[in-house]
Structure 1
Amino acid sequence: MRYLFFLIIVVPAIEIGLFILSGKLIGVFPTICLIIFTGILGAYLAKKQGIETLRRLQEDLRSGRMPGEAITDGVCILSGGIFLITPGFITDILGLLLLMPATRKWFKPLLYRIFRKWMRRKTVILR
């Protein structure tokens, strides 16, 4: 809840400022093309990485291993795809970082901490 103000007010305001700046620097049409390109790229990368992660998840389940790593990758890929489809330069950078396997590993410890916190608070119901 404490980050809600930041996410709803501050990030969109910064994104709008960057759109205006980009429009002035490279022009309106190239800025619009860049926004559309990153949305298409995001959808493609999310689909490609998502299918690969789904295969890994199925393989883990078939071999009797816990699919924790694949599930965490799936959360990162889903989030990255959503960020890339959302118009904005900051969200695009974050989305790309979440979709690329080399940089995704930076976000996994944060996700693990969030999951542990939810479990300690008993806000996650495991059935």
Structure 2
Amino acid sequence: MRFSLVPLFLVAWPLAEIAGFVLVGRAIGLWATLGLVIGTAILGAVLLRTQGMHMLRQVSTEGREGRMPGRALIDGAMIVVAGILLLLPGFLTDIVGLALFIPFVRNLIWSLVGRRIVVVGSSNSTRYRYESGKPSPNDRKSGPVVDLDEEDFHRNPNPSSPWAGPKGKEP
């Protein structure tokens, strides 16, 4: 999306939500419309909690197996966005939020943006680079290591530092 369309989008979305409220209110009445809005907010909170816990277990499992949980993190991010959209009042946000809870929709979004996402993680002194969940050929490259003797390095503490100990010495 081009940045020149963002202000137009920010104005058009609330207007579309208001139009949705008017149309649904005319079709089913005021109290039923309010019930739908409150019901989707409750549904969003419940789904966010249950799906979020499932996502945390999945990320933990992938981490224990030594894999970078890139896909699980993206799924989790989409679930969080879906829950927030369901919590917001409005029927368009509810439609988008419910769609993001469907695994097929998340898989479709992942297939569109997954190849552009690079997850970089580190474990101890070894770095791993994953692109779309697959290890790259440069896997397990470690950076340069500098080994210094005690005489090669020393600290010059700043006496005015709030972290300096008594008489300007480090604790």
Say whether the fold is shared (TM-score over 0.5): yes
C-alpha distance in 2 between matches for 1:111 and 1:39: 28
Call closer, same or farther: CA 1:107–1:57 in 2, change over 3 Å.
same
**TM-score under structure 2 normalisation?**
0.63
**TM-score under structure 1 normalisation?**
0.83
C-alpha distance in 1 between matches for 2:31 and 2:12: 25
| Bigger relative CO (Cα 8 Å, ≥ 6 apart) | 1
1:108 aligns with 2:115: no
Name which one, 1 or 2, has greater alpha-carbon Rg.
2
Structure 2 stretches of 5 or more lacking a match? 119-171
Quote the offset at 1:6 in angstroms. 3.8
In structure 1, the partner of 2:67 is: 65
CA RMSD of aligned residues (A): 1.7
1:49 aligns with 2:57: no
Structure 1 stretches of 5 or more lacking a match? 117-127
C-alpha distance in 1 between matches for 2:53 and 2:109: 20
Quote the offset at 1:38 in angstroms. 0.5
Deviations 1:40-90 (A, max 9, x none): 101111111111011000000011011011111011101101111111111
Give the aligned length. 116
More strand by share: 2
C-alpha distance in 1 between matches for 2:41 and 2:15: 20
In structure 1, the partner of 2:20 is: 18
More helix by share: 1
